[in-house]
Amino acid sequence: RLRCLPYVYLVGVTKSGTTDLVRFLVRHPDLHQAGNKEPNWWNRDRFTSTSTLLCHPGAQNPFNDYLNMFDYPAEQIDNRFIKQGDIHWHPGITIDGSSFLLWKDDYWTSIPGNQGLSEPKFLSAHAIRAVQPDASIVATLRNPTDRLFSQFSMTSFHTKTGLNVSHFHRVVSAAIDAFEKCVSMKAMKACVYEPQPSIADTKQISLVGSIYSVYLEDWLQVFPKNQIFVLRAEDYFRNRTSVLNQVYNFLGLGECYLITDAAFGITLASDLEPTFQRASSTAMFPKTRRILDNFFAPFNQKLVKLLRDHRFLWRKF
């Protein structure tokens, strides 16, 4: 039988519209996803429970477990082929939508070559490249301040604690203090990849999850720039059709029959991803936004240099 690994990795970031993006991307007839949108195998599940490192002695087929997630997409792909002369080929590709892949490599200390180090030399990106050197990487980034507030909003919603902006301000202040204390004693990268939970990375917020430049710089050292496509969540939610077709073209699929918003059933602003809309319509304290904007500013400037795109300063929505 045909077995398929994902050709596309939507690596993040969390609370930047990745669920919505995958939901519409897979409407293309040649793009398929596993039943679980976010397997998180490369950065988490291969290290937990009975899973161990890929090809590690004694492993109970952890890689096969991941491969099994794509059995149904493989069947879909196998049933559709194009004939060109004597050649039959399958145009379909698969996608892994694990939105933590870019930044949440909590088990990096378990990767061979990282033992005893204060910061990672090897990441999940290296493992993916070793297995799939031609993989396509897609990342959607959101204004880092808004992403952080959205994460807090989501946690408050699910825990039914209510959205308390005063508490958000206190958590943010404590997280920034903890991070700045860390960088006063360690290298920046060591603090960003700190494997042990700290006040800067709690269940309520993850400050480091919005420091995009550090992670993207590492991924760009593993994959060629022409294999990485980075978009802004704000641009996506403003014009889904345009951004979807940009992603399709990047993946070599071509525009999906000149997609229109009507074809996708996208006609109202209320069709925006609910959590994105909810967080965007709820105001944090202006002083909290100023603190966060100032904190993220140097990282955003580094991001602009990496991507050569000033839109990632997020000066305007």
Domain limits, the chain: 8-144+209-278+296-313
Over residues 58-101, the pLDDT tens digits come to: 444 478 889 999 999 998 888 887 777 887 778 899 999 999 99
Region 271-277: what's the mean pLDDT? 55
**What is the architecture of the domain spanning 8-144+209-278+296-313?**
3-Layer(aba) Sandwich (3.40)
pTM value is 0.88
* Dihedral over Cα of 87, 89, 91, 93: its sign: negative
Q: What is the pLDDT of residue 34?
A: 87
* Mean pLDDT, all residues of the chain: 85
Best mean pLDDT range from 17-31, 65-79, 282-296, 297-311: 297-311
Supply the pLDDT for residue 314. 96
pLDDT per residue over 132-181, tens digit each? 999 999 999 999 999 999 988 887 766 666 678 998 999 999 999 989 99
How far is Cα 10 from Cα 234, in angstroms, rounded to an integer?
A: 17
pLDDT single digits (tens) 16-71: 999 999 999 998 889 999 888 899 999 988 887 644 444 444 444 478 889 999 99
Q: What is the pLDDT of residue 265?
A: 61
Is residue 104's pLDDT more than 50? yes
Q: What is the pLDDT of residues 201-250, one digit of tens each?
A: 566 789 999 999 999 999 999 999 999 999 999 999 998 889 999 999 99
What per-residue confidence (pLDDT) applies to 87? 79
Q: What is the pLDDT of residue 52?
A: 43
Per-residue pLDDT at 60: 42
pLDDT (0 to 100) of residue 274: 56
- Look at residue 159 in the predicted model and tell me its pLDDT: 63
